Amino acid sequence: MELKFLGKKKETNDVWTFSFELPQNFTWDPGQFNIYSLKHENEDVRGRQRFFTISSAPFENIINITTRISENGSTFKKALMELELGDKINAKGPDGDFIFEGTGKKYLFIAGGIGITPFRSILSELNHGDLNADIILLYSNSSDNIAFKEEFDSYKNPNLKIEYVVGKRIDENLIKTVDDFKERIIYISGPEQMVKEINNILLGLGIKKENMRKDYFPGYD
Ligand SMILES: Cc1cc2nc3c(=O)[nH]c(=O)nc-3n(C[C@H](O)[C@H](O)[C@H](O)COP(=O)(O)OP(=O)(O)OC[C@H]3O[C@@H](n4cnc5c(N)ncnc54)[C@H](O)[C@@H]3O)c2cc1C
């Protein structure tokens, strides 16, 4: 499908959200992604295709992607920054099974940096519909420029607890402080290395594989 570019918004010093018109009949579950293809000049070795989670929630009727733009970043990201209103980008999807499993369970969401995108979609949709699940979000970020923090802090819901972890890693000791962590379905999303580390910590703590859901974002070092 072709998506029409509607504009971009700066979330933090280096995180941007890009918005696209919702095509008719396109639906998705919060947490899913699309595969985008953006033709541009002088492509680097990483090429013209990227996976991005849809960071908007279905009720918003728009397709947003949120990503980090580095100074020494890829030609793809530069081309994304240069999109002009009305430009078209190709997308395939939705796809992915990193989705919310219903309100009857307890959840622990663990996000590393830009890995927050699927949780932003899930939490925003749940908050819109009156969140009715016990959710704890541990959200780590390298600095205190934290994407979506203002929005999350505006959610007044006693069933959702958010802990921001700034400038340090989420480690075993922190996970052990989470109420009932062994009873929770645990979702992990972030750079590949971080997801692997947390996965190993959780296995070491006796969490069963079937109670974990993982979303790896490759390409960040
Ligand atoms: C299912 C799924 C969902 C995803 N969802 C998201 C999402 O919501 N948001 C998101 O941001 N990402 C997401 N990703 C990851 C995304 O697809 C990209 O891999 C990631 O954003 C990195 O983009 P980039 O390669 O353009 O590198 P950049 O972001 O431009 O750069 C990242 C780092 O790589 C270095 N680098 C850049 N280009 C090169 C190069 N040519 N050679 C060597 N080093 C280079 C840069 O210096 C920088 O340090 C997702 C991935 C998957 C698989």
- Residue 101 placed within a domain: no
Regarding whether 170 and 87 lie in a shared domain, the answer is no
Give the structural domain span for 202. Answer: 106-217
Quick check: CB of 33 below 6 Å from ligand 1?
A: yes
- HSE-CB at 201 with a 13 A cutoff on CA atoms is 18
Same domain, 87 and 110: no
My answer on whether 207 and 112 are in the same domain is: yes
- CB–CB of 93/38 below 8 Å? no
Q: What domain count does the chain have? A: 2
Residue 74 within a domain: yes
Tell me, yes or no, whether 115 lies in a domain: yes
Ligand 1 atom closest to Cα of 51? 17
72 CA closest ligand 1 atom index? 47
Same domain for 78 and 155?
A: no
Within this chain, do residues 202 and 137 fall inside the same structural domain, yes or no? yes
Shortest-distance Cα residue to atom 23 of ligand 1? 219
Percent of the chain with pLDDT strictly greater than 90:
93
Q: Compute, in angstroms, the gap from residue 124 CA to the centroid of ligand 1.
A: 24
CA distance 198 to 171: 7
pLDDT in tens, 11-32: 999 999 999 999 999 999 999 9
Final residue of a domain: which of 61, 95, 129?
A: 95
Q: Residues 14, 52: one domain?
A: yes
- Please state, as a whole number, how many other Cβ atoms lie within 10 Å of the Cβ of residue 23: 12
Last residue of a domain, one of 95, 126, 155: 95
| Dihedral, CA of residue 177, residue 183, residue 188 and residue 193, to nearest 10 | 70
Regarding pTM above 0.85, the answer is yes
Ligand 1 centre to CA of 220 (Å) is: 5
Q: Is the pLDDT at 219 greater than 80, yes or no?
A: yes
Q: Which two tokens stand for residue 17?
A: 């959200």
Regarding the beta carbon of 72 and ligand 1, being less than 6 Å apart is answered yes
How many angstroms is it from 46 CA to the middle of ligand 1?
A: 9
CA distances from 160 to 103, 108, 138, 155, 176 (A): 12, 10, 11, 8, 18
* Distance from the alpha carbon of residue 219 to the mean position of ligand 1, in angstroms: 4
Confidence band for 144, pLDDT divided at 50, 70 and 90: very high
Clarify whether residues 114 and 167 are in a common domain.
yes
Same structural domain for residues 114 and 204?
yes
Distances (CA, A) of 55 to 109, 115, 122, 209: 15, 10, 9, 26
* Structure confidence by residue, pLDDT tens digits, 182-211: 999 999 999 999 999 999 999 999 999 999
How many CB atoms are located within 10 Å of the residue 207 CB? 19
CA angle 121, 126, 129 (to 5 degrees): 130
Distance 66 CA to ligand 1 centre (A): 11
If asked whether residues 113 and 212 sit together in one domain, one would say yes
100 assigned to some structural domain: no
Ligand 1 contact, 139 CB (< 6 A) = no
The chain-wide mean pLDDT, for the chain, equals 96
